[in-house]
Amino acid sequence: MAGTVLSLVLTLLGLLLVTFIIGRVMPIDPVLKVVGDRASQAQYDAAYQAMGLDKPLYIQFIGYIGDVLGGDFGRSISTGQLVIDDIKRVFPATLELAALGTLIGVCAGVPLGVIAAARRGGIIDQVARVVALVGYSMPIFWLGLMGLLLFYGILGWVGGPGRQGIIYDGMLPSVTGLVLVDSLLARDWAAFKDAFSHIILPASLLGYFSLAYISRMTRSFMLEQLSAEYITTARVKGLSETAVIWRHAFRNIAIPLVTVIALSFGSLLEGSVLTEIIFSWPGLGQYITKSLLAGDMNAVLGGTVVVGTCFIALNLLSDLLYRVLDPRSK
């Protein structure tokens, strides 16, 4: 276990180093972002030094890691605020969206995959194939806009862009930063309903993309199991098809499925940038992208630490679940 943790820490360090180098070799001048186009040379030089850019790269990087270990992620140049505060603000927005998106993806994708495998070549299988194909090939930007136009613009079923309606914005005491949870804690049903109506569309959109992936994976795992000998044995014993599929085969695909779901959740946690932009969702994906384009290294690295840590945590978690679920590992 200690070895695992050490290798994970090294992974994270490597990730940071690569990010740092990419950020520094990108042809973007972070100083200009801070002082603006009208700054004099003297003002420019002062900011250049204040940002520590006059030091060699490796010194900058070591200094950064040292600060991070001391809990200091520095200040973002594009928001003027502490990176840690920025992340506290944007990460819950992404977490909430990703969690709901994954939930939708799992609840719809797993049964769809199972049924598609059980009735191979049947109508459901064809539907699942089309659903997955569309999910892989449809530009999310277009789909998101169309979704907004239909469900918000024409039908008025859901809330518009943003996390909350204007009247609730900034009115809710922030406990967890997750609006759905906060409104429940405050027993404010109207605010909860409002928040739900705003999150459901982007979450469904992300859910759809994760559904496409999860259902395909489920189907192929399931087909593999259904052709196994023990299934034939079970059928010969006269077990009902339902029992064969859910009790026997499904139990065995649960383990690899956990990994698939964890990966899918992790990729949503990076923040689906385009979704966040279309829905004016103030999340991590938007934050990291904007920061990168501004050469705002503190913010990019801070965001990278969060995403990296999440991935590592998810990996550990799926390893643990593997051990718990897989009888052979006992």
Residue list 164-223, contact with another protein (CB under 8 A): 165-167, 169-170, 193-194, 196-197, 200, 204
Q: Which of 14, 52, 66, 156 binds another protein (CB under 8 A)?
A: 156
User: 106 near 214, Cβ under 8 Å?
Assistant: yes
34 touches another protein (CB under 8 A): yes
List, as one string, the DSSP characters of 43-65.
HHHHHHHHTTTTS-HHHHHHHHH
Q: Which residues pair with 75 in a beta bridge?
A: 82
287 touches another protein (CB under 8 A): yes
- Least Å distance, CB 14 to another protein, is 27
d(CA 271, CA 306): 11
- Least Å distance, CB 38 to another protein, is 6
290 touches another protein (CB under 8 A): yes
Q: Which residues pair with 59 in a beta bridge?
A: none
27 touches another protein (CB under 8 A): yes
User: 13 near 7, Cβ under 8 Å?
Assistant: no
Q: Which is nearer to another protein, 1 or 154 (CB)?
A: 154
Q: How many residues does the chain have?
A: 330
Q: Which is nearer to another protein, 124 or 181 (CB)?
A: 124
282 touches another protein (CB under 8 A): yes
d(CA 180, CA 172): 11
Stretch that binds another protein, among 6-14, 63-71, 75-83, 178-186 (CB under 8 A): 75-83
- Say which residues have a Cβ less than 8 Å from residue 143's Cβ, sequence separation at least 6: 205, 208
Q: Which of 20, 73, 91, 152 binds another protein (CB under 8 A)?
A: 152
Smallest Cα–Cα separation from 273: which of 206, 178, 194, 180? 206
242 touches another protein (CB under 8 A): yes
Provide the 10 A C-beta neighbour count for residue 174. Answer: 13
Residues lying near another protein in the complex (CB under 8 A) are found at 27-29, 32-43, 46, 77-81, 86, 89-90, 108, 111, 115, 118, 124, 127, 145, 148-149, 151-153, 155-162, 165-167, 169-170, 193-194, 196-197, 200, 204, 242, 246, 277-280, 282, 286-287, 290, 293-295
